[in-house]
Amino acid sequence: MQQNIDLSPYNTFGIQASAKAFTTVHSVSEVQALIQSPAFIQQKVLLLGGGSNLLLTQDFDGLVVKIEIMGKEIVRETDDQVVLKVGAGENWHALVLYCVERGWGGVENLSLIPGTAGAAPMQNIGAYGTEMKDVIVEVEAVEIRTANVHTFSNEACAFGYRDSIFKQQAKGLYIITAITLALTKRDHALNISYGAVRETITALGYAEPSVKAISDAVIHIRRSKLPDPAVIGNAGSFFKNPTIPAAHYAALQQHYPSAPGYPAEEGMVKVPAGWLIEQCGWKGKRTGNIGVHQHQALVLVNYGGGKGNDLWQLALQIQHSVKEKFNIDIHPEVNVV
């Protein structure tokens, strides 16, 4: 247990904020021991994975617990499928590459998403037409109240768009310790319909789609659009893409014929938040040490020395302008503390 720890190395925004107390856990038994200790029970707690979905607006007057449970284990395997259990602390992109290198399909569209395996199901991470819910078999988690280990099936996780039971009814009640994925070994359901994946595969010289080709294409696209947190502090996409009624989208197209939209649940259309923000004139805007990225309006950035609360105030201004111009609410994808 450490005291007064600088959290800037533990969040991809690089925001300077201190934690009153800080510790790491490396196993289920360590999690169980920690949550029954006075150090955990007597103060507020912040669970930390890769810090890639976090905006710290102030010092944290409590205990920060960094999840570093590692390991990968094949639970079962057939000629068609491999079921893989992964520790919550494993780096997500490294895990994707591990699967791609072995020709296992299912997570290739989720390449280069920052964060850890344990955080992935919390917000049902997704990109280029694939979501976490498409590959999750189950999630293992320790219940904070009892220290018992629970297993959540895919259905029990109640996955929604960037959402799950762990952000709703079970928020703050469990610590995710492992996830189990079902991956294909052949006859892959390759998804190249979203964005520029198909065109990028061809541009990279691949004759036809494959697990490796899709992963390489997604990595190429993301690197061309999104800044590297190691160079410029950011948390990737700051806002979720909103879904609006089809009638609202039709009205939007009357004024903006080129307005992009993608079919969502029945009667709804998903509109890229980045496009809405760009239309409001925010792309590339900078105020002091913070701003909106010049190539992707969906990404808020810390150029160095920026304050978390200033970034949050910028986000609120962006929300207000989108609401005012389009009558569309956009909500943060990032966890604001």
- Which residues are marked as active site? 162, 237, 333
Phi and psi (nearest 5°) for 333?
-90, -25
Helix (H, G, I), strand (E, B) or coil at 181: strand
Phi and psi (nearest 5°) for 328?
-125, 130
Token pair, residue 180, equals: 């189990």
Residue 4 Rama label (left phi>0; alpha psi -120 to 50; beta): left
Token pair, residue 192, equals: 């190249």
Give CA–CA dist 227/233, Å, rounded.
8
Listed residue (194, 224, 190, 209) closest to 293, CA to CA:
224
Give CA–CA dist 113/125, Å, rounded.
8
Residue 7 Rama label (left phi>0; alpha psi -120 to 50; beta): alpha
Q: Label the pairing between strands 262-263 and 268-270.
A: antiparallel
Q: Where is 211: in which H helix or E strand?
A: helix 211-225
CB 208 within 8 A of CB 190: no
Residues 6 or more apart whose CB falls under 8 angstroms from that of 237 comprise: 273, 274, 298, 299, 333
229 C-beta neighbours (distance < 10 Å), count: 20
